[in-house]
Amino acid sequence: MLVRLTASKATTNSCFRWVAFFLPTLSAAFGATTAQLTAVLGVGEMAGLSSLAIGRHLDRGRERVVLLAALALTAAGSLLALVGSFGAFAVAYFGIMLGVSFVTVGGHTYLSRRVRYARRARAIGLFETSWALALLIGAPTAALLIGWFGWRGPFVFFAFASALMLAVLFMARDDSVVLDDVHDASVSRRITASAWLLIASSAAIAITGLTTVVIAGTWLDEVLGVSTGGVGLVAMAFGGAELMASSSSAAVADRAGPKRATQVALVVTLLGLLVMTRAGTSLVVGALGLFLFFIGFEFSIVTSFSFVSEALPAARGRVLAVNNAIGTLLRGVGVAMSGVLYERFGINGPVALSATTAVTAFLLLAVAGRPDPGRRADPERPT
């Protein structure tokens, strides 16, 4: 089932991740500025607030329904974008991001209720390789499709891919063992102060990444002189870096401890951001900075999902939904600001905001207590 979940998330992630790398192409297609498009992307991030409405359903064991709905939304959103107007794109992107939000929270809840904490970073790390696969496979595929069929090509392809994964997941048989009794109402599901700190740190990591990621394609095109096809290749290379980071999280985080591993990754993220500010017009220096940034961010965000999933085991779905909603709100603000900051200050604008939130996440982890297992403690949970 993990393979199917990962493939489903890779598909939904691909439906939106290629967009940021080809903003110049879409700007010409829709007659919109970079700032207008990043505003749409920022509003689209707000779709994750809808996860607050599904947390209760997830805690009742309805992960499968949520996952199927997610794939239906990404397919419908991709088809709607084919209308070709800026307004249709805005609505379509919001629908796609609804699907992305649902599959993320649904997948994390599914795994958290079936994999013990001592091994959960590995499972979530493998699941989150889908984020990297969206760049490693999805972005270069989008570049080829744009070259062959124009801007509509990727939307058609990813609509079909989403529909295909919906059918695969619908027909999949699930014999996994559930660790939690989701129907037990005798335990408290109130989110604790420690859990809130862990949620806030994960949300800060999210804004760290998306603020700079969303403008990377435009920076590569306008400042570093990378063509559309070249952007696809660069995105593929960074997808490889993200895959390396996700795999490392799966292999290392359980042994080192998710919180400590996340803090180390945040330091790498900050180093990458610093190198980016020194790039000027050098593609080599810029690529090195992006490489370090992508590795650090990917490792930290993936590993953060592990400690958030154990912040309150009595209500995993609710906590993960709240985490996604808060992260979505902050990401939306960051993405919307990225275009404005970039147009006014160049790449240093988005980088400064990302660096600020990375430091914030590091400090929040430093003061947060360990994940609070409450009455549903996992006996294998490391202390």
What crossing angle do the helices spanning 86-112 and 23-30 adopt, rounded to 10°? 140
Tell me, rounded to whole angstroms, the distance of Cα 127 from its chain centroid.
Answer: 11
* CB distance 365 to 201 below 8 Å: yes
Please report the pLDDT score of residue 175 as a whole number: 59
Encode pLDDT of 150-159 as tens digits.
Answer: 999 999 999 9
Distance CA 224, CA 372 (A): 46
Q: Which residues contact 46 (CB under 8 A, 6 or more apart)?
A: 94, 97, 328, 329, 332
User: How many CB atoms neighbour CB 174 within 10 A?
Assistant: 12
Global model pTM greater than 0.75: no
Asked which of 251-260, 319-328, 353-362 is least confident by mean pLDDT, the reply is: 251-260
Q: What is the DSSP letter of 379?
A: T
Dihedral sign for Cα atoms in the order 212, 198, 178, 102? negative
Please report the pLDDT score of residue 315 as a whole number: 73
Dihedral angle, C-alpha 95, 322, 204, 269, nearest 10 °: -70
% residues pLDDT > 90 (the chain) = 20
Averaged over 1-22, what is the pLDDT? Answer: 86
Encode pLDDT of 125-148 as tens digits.
Answer: 788 788 778 877 888 888 889 989
Distance CA 38, CA 84 (A): 17
* CB distance 317 to 294 below 8 Å: no
Most confident of the ranges 94-103, 135-144, 321-330: 94-103
Whether 18 has a pLDDT exceeding 90, the answer reads no
Asked which of 12-26, 213-227, 258-272, 340-354 is least confident by mean pLDDT, the reply is: 213-227
Query: In the structure, what pLDDT confidence band is assigned to residue 243 with cuts at 50, 70 and 90?
Result: confident
Averaged over 317-335, what is the pLDDT? Answer: 80
> What is the Cβ-side half-sphere exposure of residue 141, based on CA atoms within 13 angstroms?
19
CA angle 75, 81, 82 (to 5 degrees): 100
Q: Which residue has the higher pLDDT, 251 or 201?
A: 201
Return the CATH number of the domain spanning residue range 2-173+192-376: 1.20.1250.20
Whether 45 has a pLDDT exceeding 80, the answer reads no
Indicate the domain borders of the chain.
Answer: 2-173+192-376
Most confident of the ranges 133-137, 143-147, 258-262, 328-332: 143-147
Tell me, rounded to whole angstroms, the distance of Cα 382 from its chain centroid.
Answer: 26
DSSP secondary structure, 234-268, as one string = HHHHHHHHHHHHHHHHHHHHHHH-HHHHHHHHHHH
* CB distance 209 to 272 below 8 Å: no
CA angle 22, 104, 138 (to 5 degrees): 30
What crossing angle do the helices spanning 63-80 and 86-112 adopt, rounded to 10°? 160
Distance CA 324, CA 199 (A): 9
* CB distance 335 to 42 below 8 Å: yes
> What is the Cβ-side half-sphere exposure of residue 130, based on CA atoms within 13 angstroms?
24
- Tokens 């900050």: give the residue: 270
